Amino acid sequence: MKKIAIVIGARPQFIKHAALEIALRDDFNVVTIHTGQHYDQNMSDVFFKELNIAQPTHMLNIGSGDHGDQTGKMMIKIEEIVKYERPDVLLVYGDTNSTLAGALVAAKLNIPVAHVEAGLRSFNKAMPEEINRILTDHVSSVLFCPTNTAVANLKREGIDTNVFNEGDVMVDMIRIAREKNILTQSRDYGKYYFSTIHRPYNTDDLDRLMDMIRVFNVLDKPVKFAVHPRTLHKLTQAGVNTARFQNIHFLEPVSYFESLQLQYNAQAVITDSGGIQKEAYVLKKKCVTIRSETEWLETVNSGWNDLVFDNLELLKTKVGNIPQVYEQSLFGDGYASNKISLTLKIS
């Protein structure tokens, strides 16, 4: 049985890993390296207990820090583990510092790197994630793309060997949620908008953050706003009384399945998250993304996602622009994990 080492460290990677481990564990000796880049007990409870996912084999507890410091610490510890475990392949997800650290270590030790969610490009190199995903793709031995657009992006960069469009593993998680009857209609189905905002350029500037909140407060439906702890701290520090914004329900951070349920019952979604843009599409919900660019161009081209950045007033009209055409299989059929497992098994 082949041994596969998998590096995880941030919330989106827990989601992808939960689906993929289920597919891998019958045919691979799975060794999980959790960097601790983000640690959320709620997320761990959901994925390591509720779905019966194995606890991480190695927990590094790196924590937050500057990019160089954090990535360097990860590389030192991951290298020790990889030398000890001697995996046949090392798999990484997405575009975080954990992704890059794992990929660089394996590449330098001549261990094949498998990259899940390869080929994504925002074409904005000011984003650390863009640097991480480009470098990871260029040292990977096998690249699993979620869409044809991602395949085309790699081809433009000269990467066209061992590139596979197997679909998006996050669609697998939504399939699993449906199978577990987690997505159910609530009494307020379609009567509110759901929002998550966490990126520094939207939350660190108090004036911009308050402009966003003021627009939320005059939308035609209430906004259920899952507030990032850093954002709430910013508002509290500035003495903002959130209770005076009566159209906004400020929620504590929610778990993954709670987030899916809130999206499923919303009329539309407002976010700056990459993953939620996809989830909204799969759940057939209009999305407005508070960014000037996105890696998920398919959602914009289809009309199900609008980018709003400079003129936040556009939110008032964009949330209601729901297109008539929908492509069910845009991000795959919900069995990407099985296809990835099979490809790794025979390669």
Residues labelled as active-site residues: 198
Nearest Cα neighbor of 79 from 53, 111, 117 is 111
How many C-beta atoms surround the C-beta of residue 107 within 10 A?
A: 18
Return phi, psi of residue 224, to 5°. -90, 110
Q: Please enumerate in sequence order all residues whose Cβ is within 8 A of that of 122, keeping only pairs 6 or more positions apart, or say none.
A: 129, 130, 293, 294, 295
Amino acid identity at 53: I
Element (H, E) at 223: strand 223-227
Contact 142, 107 (CB under 8 A): no
Q: Please enumerate in sequence order all residues whose Cβ is within 8 A of that of 29, keeping only pairs 6 or more positions apart, or say none.
A: 1, 2, 3, 4
Give every strand in the sheet of 248-251, ordered side by side. 248-251, 223-227, 193-197, 268-271, 286-289, 305-307
Taking the C-alpha atoms of residue 322 and residue 125, their distance in angstroms, rounded to an integer, is 31
Angle at 270 between CA 167 and CA 7, to 5 degrees: 40
Length of the chain: 347
Taking the C-alpha atoms of residue 55 and residue 17, their distance in angstroms, rounded to an integer, is 12
Alpha carbon dihedral 43, 45, 47, 52, in 10-degree steps, equals: 180
DSSP state letter for 50: I
